[in-house]
Amino acid sequence: MSLLTVGSVAFDAIETPFGKTDKIIGGAGTYIALSSSFFMKEQRIVAVVGDDFPQEMIDTLVSRGVNTDGLQIKKGEKTFFWSGKYHNDMNSRDTLVTELNVLEHFDPIIPENYQDTEYLMLGNLSPQVQRSVIERLEKRPKLVAMDTMNFWMEIALDELKKTMSMVDVLIINDEEARQLSKEYSLVKAAKVIRAMGPKILIIKKGEHGALLFHGDKVFFAPALPLEEVFDPTGAGDTFAGGFMGYIAATDDYSFDNMKRAIIAGSALASFCVEKFGTDRLTEISKKELEDRIDQFISLTAFEMVVPA
Ligand code: AMP
């Protein structure tokens, strides 16, 4: 099976109640590809960086099976930079700086050897760029999933709606779902958003888990209760990468398999928040991941008999 990820590959500077980082590696595309690599031994990426981006991270992606033919490196230009500060609850944050740099004029090029892509994960990027990737694939992938954020709702709502009308799965957080639908109830929000195009909607609720709306069915997955959340940056992208990586690796996008994929994404996201940036994601073993998935299973499994 083939999976293509499109998304920002970036520098981030993060401030949490636990500390502060200088420029570290981040970006939606980076988190998605690292996360999906736990399930997909080969995958592809379309993204852009400046020549200030460290070769070591590109080597890390390659060593994890990511084909980087679609990663453009722009000479003399600067990589996208984002900076954010988390509030004490770690569930909400303020964006302090967004410097688009190379992303401002990003023209995604799809290498010929990516044309047979079956699963497409459109990570957070401008909706125009996300759409041009769908349009430049000669054959529509089996499943197209998309992430976005409030930034694009504020500056490019019409473009966002056009792109949304072309995808199968939308993955957003609760705050974004409310902003997009103008509905407070997430059930009502899901109705409004699904009428805009995506048949399947996943609403992430941070430490409160995630909801999947699929046909007339709904599934809820908890988040693992963690003693300490160090840095939530990239948790949403890690979730999306684990979700799509699992779907692509199993080549099954039925409701039942999407439930498993959501647990896979949630398990990987629970690791991501344990250290700053991508640090934790690059050190997890298969055994640790399996143990954590088991924790998820036992977290919600119970038997019950109603007394007579
Ligand atoms: P998340 O915490 O999952 O929402 O994703 C955080 C990542 O998104 C960071 O690593 C940023 O580099 C990236 N990011 C933030 N703003 C944007 C944006 N406007 N476009 C693309 N990527 C962004």
Going along the chain from its start, the domains and CATH numbers come out as 3-299 (3.40.1190.20)
State which of 94-98, 147-151, 161-165, 220-224 shows the largest mean pLDDT: 161-165
- Residue 277 Cβ contacting ligand 1 at under 6 Å: no
Span 204-221, pLDDT tens digits = 998 899 999 999 999 999
Beta 19-20 vs 10-16: how paired, if at all? antiparallel
| Predicted confidence band of residue 241 (pLDDT cuts 50, 70, 90) | very high
Candidate of 79, 87, 149, 172 to mutate for ligand 1, largest count of ligand atoms within 8 Å of Cβ = 149
Ligand 1 centroid vs 139 CA: distance in angstroms?
28
- Predicted pLDDT at 293: 96
Over range 99-103, report the average pLDDT. 97
pTM of the model: 0.96
d(C-alpha 12, C-alpha 53), whole Å: 12
Nearest CA, atom 14, ligand 1:
27
User: pLDDT at position 89, please?
Assistant: 83
pLDDT value at residue 229: 87
Distance 308 CA to ligand 1 centre (A): 53
Give the C-alpha distances (Å, rounded to integers) separating 297 from 238, 273, 308: 19, 20, 29
Least confident among 15-19, 129-133, 168-172, 241-245 = 15-19
Left if phi > 0, otherwise alpha if psi is -120 to 50, otherwise beta: which for 65? Answer: left
Kindly state the average pLDDT of the residues 66-82: 98
Residue with the nearest Cα to atom 6 of ligand 1? 234
Mean pLDDT of the region 191-204: 98
What's the confidence (pLDDT) of residue 188? 97
Instruction: Categorize the per-residue pLDDT at 230 as very low, low, confident or very high, splitting at 50, 70 and 90.
Output: confident
pLDDT higher than threshold 90 for residue 227: no
Mean pLDDT score of the chain:
96
Atom of ligand 1 nearest to the CA of 12: 12
Given a cut of 90, is residue 81 above it in pLDDT?
A: yes
The rounded radius of gyration (Å) of the Cα atoms in the chain is: 18
Mutate to test the pocket of ligand 1, among 25, 48, 49, 82 (most ligand atoms within 8 A of CB): 82
